[in-house]
Amino acid sequence: MVSRGTEAAREVVVSARNGFPWQASIGATVDEYEFVKESQSVTVNGRQLVGPLYVVRKATLGEISFVDLGADGATQAIVASQTQEKEPMDNSNNPAPDVQAKSNAPMVAEQTAEPQTPEPTQPAVSAHAEADRITAIQRVCAGFPEIEAKAIEEGWDVRRASLEVVRARRPSAPKVIGDSQPEWTSAMAAALAYRGGVEPPEPIRAEASKLRSMPLSVMARRCCELDGVHVSASASPYELIQAAFSTRSLANILKDSARKILLDGYASIDRASLRVARVIEAVDFKPHTLARLTGQYRMEKVAPDGELPHATVTDQGYTVKVDTYGRLVGLTRQDVINDDLGAFLDVPRQIGRGAALALEQTFWSMVESAGTFFSTNNKNLVTGTGSAFGVKGLDGAIAKLRKQTDQDGNPIKARPRFVAVPPDLEATATQIYTSNVLLIAGGTDKIIGANNPHANKYEPIVSEYLTGNGDTSAWYLIADPMDIAAFCVALLRGQTEPTIEETSPDPKYLGTLWRGYFDFGVALVDPRGAVKNAGS
């Protein structure tokens, strides 16, 4: 019985009388339920079901909604009558709607009646009525040419065409749950990230500051309220948080805050590899052989006949393959019982740091184990006297890099830009880079002042993954990768930062899980782009 006179009520009634196939959705409070463990079976409404799932044995009905698409597509919602119309519609084929409930596991409600599926009927359309059918379809489909064309071509009747137009006019299903307040969930995600060390943006900083100390149980109850999940006031914190895990609000808050913290942890590590190497995009995980063009590009004088000289180009290849590095992050059962978000907030930061550390370790390990990439044949290896790091050693490495040539023996004018050293040489590298004057102590301890020719020229890159040996540690002079790239880092589809996404946990795991992962690969490219100095 539809007694209200609102626009929404009229839309439901008119659409139902036109034959629109409304479906049902209900809101109910779960009073009694039974959990069926994995691989165990239970009979509900005459159906044999296998866990894990919840069976609702008793529930209190709160509301029934008319929707375009219900969670259970087998439901129907049929209008019987309006108060001003005494003739009831035929609802003999109306089945009892399935109970829709939210939980980590599927939920099935016990029913006293089984749904019945109405027999489809196909109205007969005579050839004489075809012209009238097309005219009527054109009338009801005005403004929807694609539906009109399909209706005429496939022989739809006017009723079906009208229903498709009704569907097309609805941008989305009617909203049956209250406002999800995206502003609050965004502020709550920022507040959690704030607790994890990430400064919130100015527009929501004040609100995030107010929310940052909110306990997990309080946040869980608010999320249940936003998503229409009823939780008894007498429910324990354990039951409350368990119910909240079924809401999208809590999942989105935890996901957004975890991503902010993960990226902040990732950015906290100096990713020097992305500065000294050429960064390329890989489309998949297959090994890719990429071309490195070499040859003579220096322009030559054009002959009087105007013919331009041809450049000689050779194609040398190098192979790079992207791999995946990742970790899981989640709230454990113990965290839930302890109402503790601290452990959760720390894990994404460590995963973000771990992604950056994996990239740095993989890259610099490749550089150190480069084999014959650094060799006398490639004219990019300095050993013995003069290879120790200092002003003289740097002079020699610069000269070696600048003397690199193309296949015809012409200088390629590689421009040195970085000095990569282990922590043992960090202080010396910083002094040479930042000092305008060098103080040199001679055999008689006489201090002599001299201008520093290397001041602010070659940026020091300090990597803990380079082997240290005190003042005699090996070090590298590296050219600008946009000029001559000695190394490359390949990123899957150009994604420069790790990804975090929600994943379904094992049914025995109470809580929620996300996976953080990073796809990258590294490769040696051109030996002319770097010089290794073996120290001594």
pLDDT digits (tens, 9 = 90+) for 351-360: 899 999 999 9
- pLDDT tens by residue, 412-453: 888 999 999 999 999 999 989 988 776 655 554 444 446 778
Nearest to 282 by CA among 316, 321, 317, 315: 321
- The packing angle between helices 130-140 and 158-169, to 10°, is 10
The structural domain count of the chain equals: 2
Greater model confidence, 270 or 126: 270
pLDDT exceeds cutoff 60 at 119: no
Q: Is residue 515 part of a domain?
A: no
Percent of the chain with pLDDT over 70: 79
Q: Say how far apart CA 416 and CA 405 lie, in whole Å.
A: 14
Domain region containing 9: 1-114
- pLDDT tens by residue, 6-62: 877 888 888 888 878 888 888 888 888 888 888 888 988 888 888 888 888 888 888
Q: Is 235 helix (H, G, I), strand (E, B) or coil?
A: coil
Interior CA angle at 471 toward 468 and 477, to 5°? 75
User: Among the three residues 95, 114, 133, which one is the final residue of a domain in this structure?
Assistant: 114
- Residue 240 contacts residue 233 (beta carbons within 8 Å): no
User: Among the three residues 79, 96, 114, which one is the final residue of a domain in this structure?
Assistant: 114
Q: Is residue 200 part of a domain?
A: no
- Residue 185 contacts residue 205 (beta carbons within 8 Å): no
Q: Is residue 461 part of a domain?
A: yes
Q: Is residue 373 part of a domain?
A: no
For residue 470, what is the domain's CATH number?
A: 3.30.2320
* Mean pLDDT, residues 232-258: 82
Q: Is residue 132 part of a domain?
A: no
- Amino acid 440: pLDDT: 59
Q: Is residue 136 part of a domain?
A: no
Q: Say how far apart CA 336 and CA 7 lie, in whole Å.
A: 45
Q: Say how far apart CA 88 and CA 91 lie, in whole Å.
A: 8
Q: Say how far apart CA 523 and CA 366 lie, in whole Å.
A: 8
What DSSP character marks residue 82?
A: B
Interior CA angle at 435 toward 430 and 441, to 5°? 95
pLDDT exceeds cutoff 60 at 134: yes
User: Among the three residues 88, 114, 140, which one is the final residue of a domain in this structure?
Assistant: 114
Q: Is residue 68 part of a domain?
A: yes
What DSSP character marks residue 269?
A: S
- Amino acid 321: pLDDT: 93
Nearest to 322 by CA among 481, 463, 488: 488
Q: Is residue 503 part of a domain?
A: no
Greater model confidence, 79 or 314: 79
- Residue 405 contacts residue 411 (beta carbons within 8 Å): yes
- Residue 60 contacts residue 95 (beta carbons within 8 Å): no
Distances in Å between the Cα of 129 and the Cα atoms of 124, 159, 236 are 10, 15, 67
